[in-house]
Amino acid sequence: MATRSQTAAVLLAGALALAACGSGGGSPAPAAQGGAKTLVIDTSFDLKTADPGRTYEPTGLIVGKAVYETLLTFEGGDVTKPVPALAESYELSEDGKVLTLKLKSGATFADGAPLTADDVVFSLTRVRDMKGTPSFLLDGVEVAKTDDTTITLTSKSPNPALPFILPNPALGVINSKLAQQHGATTNPQDKAEQWLNGSSAGSGPYTIESFNVSSQVTLKANPKYYGTKPAYDKVVIRNVEAATQKLNVQRGDSQVALNLSGDQVNGMPATLQVKKVPSANVIFLLANQDSGVSKTTPNAKFVEAVRKGVDYAGLLELAGAGSTQAPGVIPSQLLGALPADQAAKRDVEGAKAALAASGVSSPTVKLEYPSELTVNGLSFQPLAERIQANLKEVGITVDLQPAPVTTALDNYRNGKEEMGLWYWGPDYPDPSDYLAFLPGKTVGLRAGWKAGAAKEIEAAGDKAATAIGDDARRQAYADVQTKLNASGPFIPLIQPGQNIVTAASVTGLEYHPVWTVDVADLGAK
């Protein structure tokens, strides 16, 4: 999104998922016929469309990954190194402005038509110029065909994040001739969405058999897929609330449950497989730096007192299985994440000393957060209550201010919260997405942190944004976070767990921060 307000969209998406998952148990699992293998996945739907140029919701990205292929992808759950997909190789210029991709030969669409460089140019241009939710991914990027096997993506300024952006299923390549017959264009007048919701114009291992945004999506194996044939003939993705997901997978009505909390995966029978890993969502506190909003929170020593006063181990206990402490704003899976040993530790005496040095006596501050939003099954309410109790021990009174997500979002977006408890999910798995936390940027402004407020941190951010090469980028982003932790208004807390339960028959499942799970990677035994 050009405005870089994606966190708001992600948060709102979470709220929509909550509303959607109230539908109960979803549709009954279909019976496999004639020896065909069917995989049933239960999840809480956050789904609006199957059109790759418009999709940006978690369930939509699962579908998009199965039906469409991208120029680059990631191996399993590793998001630190993009690898070839439709492109057989890629090269970033020394100045970071030109990405050259060589297309592999032999790729075909579901109707058997060959996939060409023209299809790639049309697809990426369509995403950028249609102005749908994912169009910001290619802001300022010119897409061109050099020859029948070469594509160049040219950015006005260094764009080392681009190879990490291209694997997003929203950038899946569509059959341009077929899609144009059904209203696809490279402008906002595009009319292809309805057709794409029921048909497949991709080259992926699956095609869409049926699509319902509120109840169920059914995928079937693409008989003309040129790559390795997927293990399952049919994949049924159902909209099911978490409590029912647990029941279904326990009794064999489904083979995968994607949305169980740390508490819900405790005590699972030994016949089931439980994957407990940190999600890529980072829950954090913000202390508003605008003196018009608060006379207390802009005080650097007050922020230090909060940072030292939080019981991080206690928050992890609340979060449960799979969760981990967040040492910085960049989650552990991404290039540039800080090592675990740099995470903040509780120091009550140090917090009291910092509060005394602040000159603020017995402060009372308001902490706002969305009341009905959950992240990876974790509610904000118990976290807020624990933080309130922690800071009381330091001498800070926290007035909890839960609000419906729409109200809380308005205050958060507009920089009106004295203190806020929120989370950030990656728009794409690259550290550049987290420059949004700097002064004058999207999340920085939500904390009342205006451009010019911290010149050393801003200079470090500028250096990171233009760094080329993994080693240089890793070091530059670690430096940004170290400086943010020392004097910024954000306090990274935890990455809640992503807990996925599968039947013993399912193999090859890896959690992925962008598309959650690649259904084509799943095997059967």
Tens-digit pLDDT profile for residues 421-476 = 999 999 899 999 999 999 999 999 999 999 999 999 999 999 999 999 999 999 99
Is 19 a residue whose pLDDT tops 70?
no
pLDDT of residue 18: 33
- Percentage of the chain exceeding pLDDT 90: 89
d(Cα 363, Cα 391) in Å, to the nearest integer? 10
- Percentage of the chain exceeding pLDDT 70: 93
The model's pTM is 0.89
Cβ contacts of 97 within 8 Å, gap of 6 or more: 154, 155, 156, 157, 158, 159
**Average pLDDT of the segment spanning 115-126:** 98
pLDDT of residue 377: 83
β-pairing, 256-260 vs 38-43, is parallel
pLDDT of residue 9: 39
pLDDT of residue 35: 53
pLDDT of residue 373: 83
Cβ contacts of 448 within 8 Å, gap of 6 or more: 288, 289, 290, 292, 293, 298, 415, 489
d(Cα 165, Cα 61) in Å, to the nearest integer? 13
Residue 130 has, within 13 A of its CA and on its CB side, a CA count of 26
- Rounded to 10 degrees, the C-alpha dihedral 354/355/359/363 comes to 160
Q: What is the pLDDT confidence band of residue 376, given thresholds at 50, 70 and 90?
A: confident
Q: Residues 38, 524: contact at Cβ < 8 Å?
A: no
Q: What is the pLDDT confidence band of residue 394, given thresholds at 50, 70 and 90?
A: very high
Is 170 a residue whose pLDDT tops 60?
yes
All domains of the chain in start order, with CATH: 6-275+499-524 (3.40.190.10), 282-495 (3.10.105.10)
Is 263 a residue whose pLDDT tops 90?
no
